[in-house]
Structure 1
Amino acid sequence: MNRGLKFTRLLQILEKCSENIMYHDETNSVVQRFKQIESIVIPLQFHPIQVFDETKHAVDVVAEEYLEKATGDIQDLVPVDVIADGNCLYHSILLLINNPSVTTNELRVRTVIELITNENYYQTMYSQYIGTIDVTIKTICKNYTFSELYEIAALCNMVIWDNVFAPVPPIIANYDIAILWSNALNEENAREINNGAWNPNHFVPLVSRGIRNDSNNDSQST
């Protein structure tokens, strides 16, 4: 069984757990078994994308409009188009870590494992802002469900700091990953369907603009 199919099966097991009346206990029990699987505990290879590549990436023109209104030192960043299917946060991470063997299913499974393993920490840190973590874990177990604060925090801890997701040599982990919490619709349309209010519903990865070497281009054209 290949890696992608393995994590698809694991996610299906988690989704079935989430439908149980005692979903929290079931999920916790399954996660403990998952943690004995070698492919889950080995480090995730991490080759970060930092520059926009027009041969591989497309600009998210809606997110670009939002980015133009933002303050701070982010004007040189480019929002890259990713699928808005409920897994957009995971798609954003996948694009940035540049590891084709990893799937959104794997990141979702690893997110559940991270939240279950360190449940008390996340509950203490974030429940006051977004509610109890057990309900969130139940939701995350279902594929294509929208991500919020708990998932963002868990992915940050996994991708940036956790030893399960440690960058492999010779990469030095002194860079930032930038993701814009945006909306799939432009501001006018987003407010129109939400009684004038605006809420984020789409994650978009941000990368630096490529630096053109005009001197080289000039020398080649002469």
Structure 2
Amino acid sequence: MHALRCSLCSNTDSQISNYLCDECNDLGRYEFFQHFLIKLQYNKNFHTFQRICQTIYPALVKFPFNFKPIQYFDPQVHQLDIISQQYVALCEDTEGETKYFSNNEQQLIALDVKGDGNCLYHCITLLGEMANHYTVELRVQNIIELAMNADAYLQFFKLYDTNLKAYIVRSMLYDRRWAEPWDLFGLCTVLNCNIRSVFPSLNTFTNIHPSAPPQKVMNKTFKPRQNIATNTILIMWWRGISPEDWILYSTEDIWAPNHYVPLIKPRVSLHLILLILIVNEYLLNLVLEYDIFDILYNESMF
């Protein structure tokens, strides 16, 4: 009889069961998911990859996850993304869905998110008020969800793409890799949350890159694979250049998104938020100016 091999630290997939050795069982949350992500990177065969995900899945109960997204912009906590905010004006509602852009409410606020390849996962940690290291866990949880249920996703989203299995083993398993629509589809189930994918309407001033998801296809709400979710978050696709600068200065012929940002509701008008930010910056500069003046004054006394 073969001894059981740990599903996390074993370097082979033979005789692996949903068993963790004592050392792996004692790993902290971040270390556990970081170790598993590295383990996955050594397996390029999808069926082996899928089997490894199936064996580790029972261990996820050790790390309960409850996503409760924030609803409103807080100028004391969040940072407005000035450039991406310009794209919000180009966003449109989808027929038959909740109105976000054509109602009489205040314009949604685009939050600033770090653009390091993990921007989609940073959107989630920001909305969930989670530590930055959760980006690794979210990626791993999403990989497991998509790998274990690949056939179901391919069947349901066959009109969007058919490269899921190749995408998982060639790109998604590496940290800080640009997320594709598959990441959005899987995250709905991982978070048990609807995701309203927001794709600006840009056809009026530029051509869309052929590799970019079509605006009509990606400008809609995606839902968990099985459960009915009560929360909905909004994630907008955009590019790190304003629409105006793209028209005036870009040497490229076609526009393609390269970043994600979350959109949330303001408690007050966007104009008031901008005023608050301007005043805060002015006061900060004033404090710095007086601090420097005091230093110079004190030094002149000696």
Into which bin does the TM-score normalised by the smaller protein fall? Answer: 0.7 to 0.9
Please give the per-residue CA displacement for 1:49-86, whole angstroms capped at 9, x wherever unaligned.
Answer: 11111122111111101012223433521110111111
The amino acid that maps onto 1:79 is: A
Aligned to 2:154: 123
Pair 1:61-2:82 in alignment: yes
Q: 1:9 to 1:176 in 2, by over 3 A?
A: same
Q: CA deviation at 1:129?
A: 2.4
The amino acid that maps onto 2:242 is: N
Once superposed, what is the RMSD of the aligned Cα atoms? Answer: 2.7
- Structure 1, unmatched stretches of 5+, are 167-172, 213-222
Separation of aligned partners in 2, 1:6 and 1:79 = 32
Q: CA deviation at 1:96?
A: 1.1
Moved over 6 A (4+): none
Separation of aligned partners in 2, 1:195 and 1:211 = 38
Bigger Cα Rg: 2
Aligned to 1:201: 258
- Structure 2, unmatched stretches of 5+, are 1-26, 94-99, 194-222, 270-302
Answer yes or no: is the 8 Å Cα contact 2:118–2:178 preserved in 1.
yes
2:188 is aligned, of 128, 133, 156, to 156
Please give the per-residue CA displacement for 1:111-139, whole angstroms capped at 9, x wherever unaligned.
Answer: 11110121111111224422321111111
Aligned to 2:289: none
Please give the per-residue CA displacement for 1:75-116, whole angstroms capped at 9, x wherever unaligned.
Answer: 521110111111111100111122338611101001111101
**TM-score normalised per structure 2:** 0.60
Separation of aligned partners in 1, 2:134 and 2:52 = 20
Pair 1:30-2:52 in alignment: yes
SS state at 1:112 partner:
helix
Answer yes or no: is the 8 Å Cα contact 1:187–1:198 preserved in 2.
no
SS state at 2:235 partner:
strand
Alignment of 1:1-222 (within 5 A): 1-17=27-43, 20=44, 23-39=45-61, 43-72=64-93, 73-74=100-101, 76-100=107-131, 103-138=134-169, 139-160=171-192, 174-187=230-243, 195-211=252-268
The amino acid that maps onto 1:181 is: W
Q: Which range is displaced more, 2-11 or 153-162?
A: 153-162
| Higher relative contact order (CA closer than 8 Å, sequence separation 6+) | 1
Separation of aligned partners in 2, 1:153 and 1:68 = 25
Q: 1:4 to 1:189 in 2, by over 3 A?
A: farther
Separation of aligned partners in 2, 1:34 and 1:58 = 37
